[in-house]
Amino acid sequence: MKAKKILQKLTPYGFLAPAVLIFALALFYPVFYSIRLSFFNWRLVEVYRKAPEFVGIQNYIKIIQSPAFQTSLKVTAIFITITLATELIVGLGLALLAERKIKGLHLFRTIFLLPIMVAPVVVGVLWRFMFNPNYGLVNYFLGLLGFENVLWLSKPFPALTAVILTDIWQWTPFVFLMLLAGLQNVPEDVLEASIVDGASYVQRLRHVKLPMIKSIIGLTIVLRLIDGLRALVVMYVMTNGGPGRATEVLSLHIYKKAFVSRRLGEASTLAVFLIIILLIVSTLLFQFFNTERRTSA
Amino acid sequence: MTRLNKWLRDFSLPGSEKLRKIDKAQLIRYAMLVLAAGVVLFPIFIMITTSFKTRTQTFSMPPVWIFKPTLKHYQEVLFSGNFLKYLVNSLVVATSTAFFSILIGAFAAYALVRFKFLGKRAVSTVTLLLRMIPPAVLIVPLFVLWLNIGISGSRAGLIFAYIALNLSFTIWILRSFMNEIPVEIEESAVIDGCSELGILFRIVLPLIKPGLAVASIFVFRISWNEFILALVLTNRTTRTLPVAISLRITQVGVHWGEITAMATIVALPAFVFTFLSARSIIRGLTAGAVKG
């Protein structure tokens, strides 16, 4: 009887064991290993021949002072701020348009799902083609409107703009779908009550709808931020971080440091910075939206 | 605007001013949504048509809108080079990842839903946190680690990494579906003498088939689309399609016909999934929004 009870107690751990094992080997240990390696000097060519050489916090000093790192931070910040703001505004606008019972809504939702489902590599390919200076469609349409040809991907500012526009194209639909799901969940009777009370559309939006979907907006922002810090594929395909480092976000900088400059130690230091940024940003956001929720409840 | 008003006056039903007003608002809403849908679809349309154009048609300005489609690029892509091999790699990696993630994820989700145990809260929190790890953080350690245990450059190594990346999402979504099963059903199975494993496989999993479908689509899609880990962890024989495309594009003189043909093939499963099960995908995507 006692043995059976112990066995019962152990059952849940048995069910969890495979997942824990995989997490430990492929996520926990690698993150730990990265942190450790960030204090070592190790080049890609030495992987087979030589053990990493301990250098203390030298990598950190080097990275903090490196212009490439500072640029990548700046690019990442600009990229995330502009994409996030635009995606939220446009996504919310579209969600408000589609929110009321509309015929064919399902078709619209299906179409808006496509950019989310398609591989980032494909997105990079198709926008690299669209932004081609000579036969790309973007310049063609700009030409019809009387603008001159823009060398989109070979000049710093246009290249960053192109990468940002691509991200907006790909991810506004996600914000739209999230906020639409939230809006459709606002209870009918609350809205009706506000209509009876004579609230105008703008008043209802400000005082009823937006407060009710606040936590969803928060969740959407967090998810987009996390994704924004991950983004690198579209830049890799469209510009490879260039021209110069104009579109080299931190994630792409890590890859290039490790496999182009072949410095594994310094790349790990960069990875540690990325983890720290991620932790700070997400803690702040979670705290912000949690307190908001508590005060509104 | 006046023309729109006139049009509405002429065509809307005779009757109240109010009805006309509603129609106008509705029409504007439609127009905006159609415009947005157009912006979404247009580049995809251009990619697909380019894959059927000859070189001269692709480079002609103004663009050729009507043309006789050529299958040349698809023939080129499919029957020369290693494309088919990479296609098989992609298929093997994505399906194995989906299968194992769901199997292992179902075990873990079941433990979290059905049992009370020490450390349960910690497990759920950590699972959520793990979803945040950016792949860029993992490329160096996984590259070295896989090299050390001898699975670097193999499909198994890539699959293993992908399972880890997808597992927390799988657990999370399966858990939300399992939570909806009434406990009574499981309890009656216990009385009938079913083992825990039996309950999971014969009762719980069949009841959450829609959840399994959502999870498989998501995991398949993420592994099929994933790029940076595949770039680092595979070699010439084991690479997947996204890596193959990227290596084509960085060469001098991009061959747009073939690239867009490859990209279209890679995008095909996404199109099929989207049109077949948009509803459940949206449910999976917004699960946190509606329930959180």
Domain range list for chain A: 72-296
Question: What confidence score (pLDDT) does residue A296 get?
Answer: 44
Subunit contact A9:B105, Cβ cutoff 8 A: no
Domain range list for chain B: 2-51, 74-291
Subunit contact B37:A22, Cβ cutoff 8 A: no
Lowest mean per-residue pLDDT among A236-245, B84-93, B204-213, B280-289: B280-289
Cβ-Cβ contacts under 8 Å, A120 against chain B: 225, 227, 242
Chain B contact for A161 (CB, 8 A cutoff): no
Subunit contact A178:B147, Cβ cutoff 8 A: no
Lowest mean per-residue pLDDT among A176-190, A240-254, B84-98, B135-149: A176-190
Could you tell me the pLDDT band of residue A290, with boundaries at 50, 70 and 90? low
Subunit contact A29:B263, Cβ cutoff 8 A: no
Among candidates A125, A179, A271 on the partner chain, residue whose Cβ is nearest the Cβ of B260: A125
Question: What confidence score (pLDDT) does residue B288 get?
Answer: 61
**Distance from C-alpha of B164 to C-alpha of B137, rounded to nearest angstrom:** 14
Residue A70 phi/psi, 5° resolution? -60, -40
Mean pLDDT of B70-89: 90
Cβ-Cβ contacts under 8 Å, B140 against chain A: 34, 37, 254, 258, 264, 267-268, 271
Would the pLDDT of B30 be above 50? yes
Residue A285 in contact with residue A221, Cβ under 8 Å?
Answer: yes
Task: Quote the minimal CA–CA distance from A22 to chain B in Å.
Answer: 6
Subunit contact B41:A215, Cβ cutoff 8 A: no
Subunit contact A237:B134, Cβ cutoff 8 A: no
Task: Quote the minimal CA–CA distance from B276 to chain A in Å.
Answer: 10
Mean pLDDT of A45-68: 89
Closest CA to B209 of B180, B184, B235, B230: B180
Q: Give the rounded percent of residues in chain B with a pLDDT score beyond 70.
A: 89
The amino acid at B88 = V
Mean pLDDT of A73-86: 96
DSSP B67-119: -----HHHHHHHHSTTHHHHHHHHHHHHHHHHHHHHHHHHHHHHHHHH---TT
**Distance from C-alpha of A195 to C-alpha of A255, rounded to nearest angstrom:** 54
Mean pLDDT of A163-174: 96
Could you tell me the pLDDT band of residue A297, with boundaries at 50, 70 and 90? very low
Subunit contact A122:B47, Cβ cutoff 8 A: yes
Among candidates A22, A174, A275 on the partner chain, residue whose Cβ is nearest the Cβ of B137: A275
Q: What is each CA distance from A230 to A26, A159, A204, A254, B19, in whole angstroms?
A: 18, 19, 36, 11, 49
Question: What confidence score (pLDDT) does residue B43 get?
Answer: 95
Q: Which of A193-202, B6-15, B162-171, B176-185 has the highest mean pLDDT?
A: B162-171
Task: Quote the minimal CA–CA distance from B251 to chain A in Å.
Answer: 11
Task: Quote the minimal CA–CA distance from A19 to chain B in Å.
Answer: 6
**Distance from C-alpha of B124 to C-alpha of A101, rounded to nearest angstrom:** 37
Binding-face residues of A in 74-113 toward B, CB within 8 A: 94, 97-98, 100, 102, 106, 108-113
Pinpoint the alpha helices (H) of chain A: 2-23, 29-37, 58-65, 67-99, 105-117, 120-130, 137-144, 156-184, 188-196, 201-204, 210-212, 214-230, 233-238, 250-259, 264-296
Task: Quote the minimal CA–CA distance from A91 to chain B in Å.
Answer: 10
pLDDT in tens, B155-198: 999 999 999 999 988 998 898 889 888 888 777 777 777 788 88
Subunit contact A12:B134, Cβ cutoff 8 A: no
Token pair in block for residue B41:
């679809």
Give the HSE-up count for residue B3: Cα atoms under 13 Å, Cβ half-sphere: 0
CA angle A177, A183, A184 (to 5 degrees): 90
Residue B94 in contact with residue A211, Cβ under 8 Å?
Answer: no
Cβ-Cβ contacts under 8 Å, B164 against chain A: 22-23, 25-27
Subunit contact A30:B250, Cβ cutoff 8 A: no
**Distance from C-alpha of A75 to C-alpha of A164, rounded to nearest angstrom:** 11
Q: How many CB atoms lie within 10 A of CB B207?
A: 16
Subunit contact A94:B33, Cβ cutoff 8 A: yes
DSSP A282-293: HHHHHHHHHHHH
- Look at residue B180 and give its three-state secondary structure: coil
CATH class held by domain B74-291: mainly alpha
Task: Quote the minimal CA–CA distance from B242 to chain A in Å.
Answer: 6
pLDDT in tens, A133-163: 888 899 999 999 988 888 999 999 999 999 9
| Fold classification of A72-296 (topology level) | MetI-like fold (1.10.3720)
Q: Is the dihedral of CA B228, B230, B232, B235 positive or negative?
A: negative
Among candidates B62, B136, B275 on the partner chain, residue whose Cβ is nearest the Cβ of A110: B275
> What is the pLDDT of chain B when averaged over all its residues?
85
Selected residue with higher pLDDT from A193 and A176: A176
Which run of H or E residues covers position A41? strand A40-41
Cβ-Cβ contacts under 8 Å, A111 against chain B: 37, 40-41
Cα A83 from chain centroid (whole Å): 10
Q: How many CB atoms lie within 10 A of CB A106?
A: 12
Closest CA to A45 of A259, A253, A251: A259
Helix, strand, coil: what percent of chain B each, to 5? 80, 0, 20
**Distance from C-alpha of B65 to C-alpha of B21, rounded to nearest angstrom:** 38
Cα B277 from chain centroid (whole Å): 12
Q: Give the rounded percent of residues in chain B with a pLDDT score beyond 90.
A: 43
Which run of H or E residues covers position B18? helix B17-51
Closest CA to B128 of A226, A88, A18, A232: A226
- Number of A/B CB contacts below 8 angstroms equals 270
Binding-face residues of A in 187-226 toward B, CB within 8 A: 215-216, 219-220, 223, 226
Selected residue with higher pLDDT from B225 and A148: B225
Question: What confidence score (pLDDT) does residue A176 get?
Answer: 94
